[in-house]
Amino acid sequence: EDEIPGYERVVDQRVDNVGVYAQWEWMPSARLKFLTGARFDYSNVVGDEQLGEFSRRIDNDISVLSPRFTLMYDLDDKFQFRGGYARGFRAPQAFNEDFHISSAGGEPVFVLLSESLEKETSDALTGSLSYTELLGTGQLNTVIQGFYTQLNNPFVLVNTGSQLPNGSIVEEVRNGNGAFVSGINLEVNYAPSKAITWQSGFTWQMAQFEEEQVIYEPENPQEGELVTSKDFLRTPEAYGFVNVNYDIDGRWNFSLSNVITGPMQVPEILQSTGAVAIRNSDWFWDSTVKASHHFHIGDRLHIEVNAGVQNLFDSFQDDFQVGPTRDAGYIYGPARPRTYFFGLKLSNND
């Protein structure tokens, strides 16, 4: 239940779900393992949604069978192959993110569910090859993985261009015409000793709809042009991480963590007209350095002191809108600019 009387907004929804799951595991040899299963879900979604002049009734009964299949095969002592298929679904209901209230042009932005919204399903295929090698006192592990997910009736958020008499802006969740996400993931993890560890991974992916999807649909030509896109918004094509950790005698610890985010398309509601434009973001390199020291006072008290810098290179969004009419949802990239921090942790060994 979510109610905002001042904006005549009410969401009253009840969701009941019953699921039955079964799986079967088979190992025909010490190197080969199969796992297969299926889950049957029955979901009942009933409720009412009101926003000003819009009034929607939700009454859906959904039955979904979701099979899955995986296999694992040890080629030898160092190489291992994994592969699998799985199906998933989302019921046509209001989720937490739909209750989030943004603002643009000084007015709130509310989300409505389409009257014809149907369930979304996905079919995912994965395959990976891993390599593990002992190198002296250390260990090396690498993984290369390919993935492909087909989305059927995907949920799409559309800015309808509608504005209620009280100024509220309306967005609507609709079904798209189908989409897919595919890509390659590479991970390299190396520990030359107990004191030093290296973890890294990088993903390149393509996430697109099969047809152009409406992002902004103006009520009249004076409010801007129709905006469409085949790409998933706020979804980078490349991203990755690199973490290095160095531990000295269990007392001193030094760490360097990096999160890399590639360009993505981001929707922006223009302050001047209220229309929507698509912007291309830059690369971001969010690096954090941290040092911590552990020591004891007596037999029981344990103290940890740490300090460091988040977003060391100040890789941060530089085109925020400002003023009371800004688009509050036009935010992307790292959550904070360069930030210095200090911490103290006390604990009792008992």
Condensed to tens digits (0 to 9), the pLDDT of residues 153-194 reads 998 888 877 777 877 788 888 888 889 999 999 999 999 988
Tell me the pLDDT of the chain averaged across its residues. 90
Q: Which residue has the higher pLDDT, 103 or 116?
A: 116
pLDDT, one tens digit per residue, over 198-240 is 999 999 999 999 888 888 888 766 666 888 889 999 999 999 9
What integer pLDDT is reported at residue 350 of this predicted model? 62
Does residue 295 carry a pLDDT above 90? no
pLDDT, one tens digit per residue, over 32-61 is 999 999 999 999 989 888 888 888 888 889
Q: Which of 40-44, 75-79, 322-326 has the lowest mean pLDDT?
A: 322-326
Does residue 321 carry a pLDDT above 70? yes
Phi, psi dihedral angles at 329 (to 5 degrees): -90, 0
pLDDT, one tens digit per residue, over 16-35 is 999 999 999 999 999 999 99
How many Cβ atoms sit within 10 Å of the Cβ of residue 102? 17
The pTM for the full model equals 0.83
Does residue 97 carry a pLDDT above 80? no
